[in-house]
Structure 1
């Protein structure tokens, strides 16, 4: 009996020993006491060197044995231990912040006036270390944030956002960014991204300050710590890094030599809201920021709804040009069919949100979150939303979720924080991948990119991003680009993306603008009713001596592109209107804009007399969203002797007139602002939303700039 007992005991001991030696996979999530995920937490098997760190979402996975003890360590939090047992292989941990653990990470730097006695320790990254680091890494990997990772105790640089957090009493939770000091000057939060992009070769050293007494030196703004940077020159200053695509104003064209004018439609309105922001801030307006067609198209006009088989109606009007009594102005208006919200097909939307350091300012990510709530509140149960974010890298923060779960979507938005460099190309790749995986046949498939357009990691040039988007649009997924912020706003990049991605582009500077784009114009912004929309106008040389298209300089096409279905063009959304203005010089009118040319030897122009009452013919081509063959509509405009246009006509003319004044156009003989104000004021008409009244206020404000 004893032998049997001993033998049984040996077997059980062996089984337990084998079980303990077997490795199992343990997973879990580490959060703080506010339920925010903690990236970069050290998860180590006690008594060994084996361990891992948590990812961007606070998740970890490692192999261990039963009865092993896991040790969870994170700067600014109390160390926690958990034993692995057979009951569960999922171990979720909540770490509690601890002031006591911060004593070891106090690092102080005070620039020229060093006061080490305040904290007792100083940590500095020297010029030599910066240069050595830069030689080892590519240009896209040289941000200041990365220089601090692993070199300064107590400084946590999160992946993938590259956001700096200096662990301390005021900074253990949420988005508490340090104060940046460059050459003794505090840097505004909106300009931090510019500081982070400083060439390391120009930096003498970087010092990091963390303690309660820092506010005694730099004030309350240093409550979350300081990053003190000294450059070799000692005179660093912030420069505006906004960028716009250069515009060469359209000239007058002789009808006898070039009777056709061809362009892609443009429903973008970003230029107007951006110019409005500059005027309201008293800023100088760059000529390249003024796109007259986008300013004119910002406003609604009383165009009748289309009737018949085509989802568009064409309207034309003619009158004397307000800024030049010797020319005529022709307005061409397109009206897209309005599709009710409930009739829009099921939507597969991917929010692609820039959470890099440049988005930290109040008019960027915080405004973006509130703006997107307006969109979320209009979603239906059949719609699904995914959220992809990008900074130093890209990641999915919300898997496809029904529009019925609005609170879940909004909570995912609210948890976003800004920090790090900007890997826009990687974000776009991931967003399109998610959109394609959840593609709805005959549905509304779209990526909505929200950013300031400042891409500085991976693909970042206009050419690279253009090629990427041209490839992605083949998937049948459309693109909407929403621009935010100031100081480093990249209008040219967003225009390129929207243009090549079968999409549209808007600039959101206020919640009022967010309400317009994502509320009032929800259908037009997010649902395309026609793509590759082109206009070709043929002028009658018996009536028109010369003409010029006002605006649309970046949308001009070759005449042969009009019937070439392989050529990309603009898109129109539900209820969208498009307005184009041509200034024409009638036959027989002497004008300084029409230059003499030598007689031709081999070519003789013969003008037809069959269409003597026609001024021009408008040809319009479009494709249905999922089709590849275009459909053509033709509209003829008869010559009119009107001297005064309708109120809509005159208001559109006043907006174009102001745009030309801002651009210092050579084609306005009268640039008197009072005349522009008088024309706009007399034709304000019905203005339910107050946009025209706001334009008048802008005109009056501009007088003082």
Structure 2
């Protein structure tokens, strides 16, 4: 878990965006089964980013907009939260580039249970319904040996695509590596210049990679990514489900990663968020924040523990980072100690003897921090940079920011964070109810039910 850093010691913090949402649906599965999730499964940023937020739409040259708000921390009243929201450009389906998709489906024996292959079929039928005539899909399966079920077929032939999906049966051992090689070979053979070329992998994660090693598999995925074929990963079922492994594969493949635990989640991923799931509008998106030591004593980033980058990585266009899909929103929340506030989270150190502390003009301003952002266009090798300045204002915090803060607080409780302060399940429920807003799909109402479930289940004071 990220700890507080003194601005005097570390004024810069750099990280990659994370548009994966799998942690939330995985946490939901545990709670619905009457179990507290393991701490390692609670990736707070993925829980926050699971929800749709109506942040300000981009209107300029960049494919996403950034906004910020400074508010009091509900769980540490002396501290502040800096809420940063990125909103990707929404694109009508008709305006999206043509897709060249390869469905890579795990049909091994471990996929036979009702929450695996049957749910895969339902999910991919939903995806087929979103396809247009200019899109094409091939279907590759793997179980012991890899095989082509359907060569590249137009999105107009929906009955043919659905029939191929619905006729699949589970059985046999798994050799995922052979399947992924065939999937990439198929995608490259039918590559669409300027299109969306992507392998969509569905698995319970219980496969022997067959590429000699995990490292070999990652290298293969990176190589094909650099050739223009991205990878999205969908996890199904439980048991041997390799959560971290699936996330790493998607990250290496410039794709996203979702965990589908029920039909409504399939609808969310393939219908409600179709563009964001399958169409990249900005790749290698990085944030670097510089804090003003005259305004901020210390800070910590909530979540993003496995997304941290070295500060020098920000300007390195060879360094891979997360990708943003059409219409996606991304949220990052910093907990900050304002200058002059004392807290047990930040221990005093002696003044430095040899360091100069010259003030700049900017340091004397009311600016709290500068957020620098870098991204590449989907087909570009060189990044674009722009900046956003954060200063506390009088703006009203909206429902979206409030709700994301409620989710962050819930994550701190599930992790039994040392920084949870006065956080409580009751406080999360109250804030979530107050900020539920127009919850047409019911996701926020479901969140409140999950918090109530966790309140009943979590009867221990410390969870390691």
Q: Which of 60, 64, 72 matches 1:308?
A: 60
Matched with 1:630 is 383
Aligned to 1:640: 393
- In the other structure, the counterpart of 1:621 is 374
Q: 2:80 aligns with which of 328, 334, 358?
A: 328
Asked whether the 8 Å contact 1:421–1:457 carries over to 2, the reply is no
- Which of 91, 96, 99 lines up with 1:344 in the alignment? 96
Distance between the aligned counterparts of 1:462 and 1:526, measured in 2? 24
Instruction: Judge conservation of contact 1:462–1:496 (CA < 8 Å) in 2.
Output: no
Matched, 1:567 2:322: no
CA distance in 2, matches of 1:296, 1:357: 34
TM-score (norm 2): 0.96
| Aligned residue among 125, 146, 151 for 1:373 | 125
Structure 2 match to 1:260: 12
Matches of 1:646 and 1:521 in 2, distance apart?
A: 22
Residues 566, 369 of structure 1: alpha-carbon distance in 2 compared, 3 angstrom cutoff? same
Unaligned runs of 5+ in 1: 1-248
Distance 1:312 1:435 in 2: 28
User: Where does residue 83 of structure 1 map in the other structure?
Assistant: none
Could you say which residue in structure 1 is the equivalent of 2:328?
A: 576
> Is 2:425 the partner of 1:679?
no
2:36 touches 2:454 (CA, 8 Å); kept in 1? no
Q: Is the 8 A contact 2:20 2:257 kept in 1?
A: yes
8 A contact 1:256–1:545 mirrored in 2: yes
Partner of 1:317: 69
State whether residues 394 and 423 of structure 1, in contact with CA within 8 Å, keep that contact through their aligned partners in structure 2.
yes
**Root-mean-square deviation (Å):** 1.4
Cα deviation for residue 677 of structure 1 reads 1.1
Residues 457/330 of structure 1: CA separation in 2 closer, same or farther (3 Å cut): closer
Rg comparison, structure with higher value = 1
For residues 365-514 of structure 1, what are the structure 2 equivalents within 5 Å? 365-459=117-211, 461-514=213-266
Q: Which residue number corresponds to residue 550 of structure 1? A: 302
Higher relative contact order (CA 8 A, sep 6+): 2
Specify the alignment match of 1:117 in structure 2: none
Gapped regions of structure 2 (runs ≥ 5): 458-464
Name the structure 2 match of 1:655: 407
- Checking the alignment, whether the CA contact within 8 Å between 1:424 and 1:460 is kept in structure 2 is no
Alignment match, 2:460: none
Q: 1:457 to 1:621 in 2, by over 3 A?
A: closer
Work out whether residues 279 and 325 of structure 2, in 8 Å CA contact, stay in contact via their aligned partners in 1: yes
SS of corresponding position for 2:86: strand
Give me the whole-angstrom Cα distance separating, in 1, the residues matched to 2:337 and 2:38.
29
Contact kept, 8 Å, 1:654 with 1:679, in 2: the verdict is: yes
* SS of equivalent residue, structure 2 residue 79: strand
Residue 532 of structure 1 pairs with residue 284 of structure 2? yes
Q: CA deviation at 1:600?
A: 2.7
Q: TM-score, normalised by structure 1?
A: 0.63
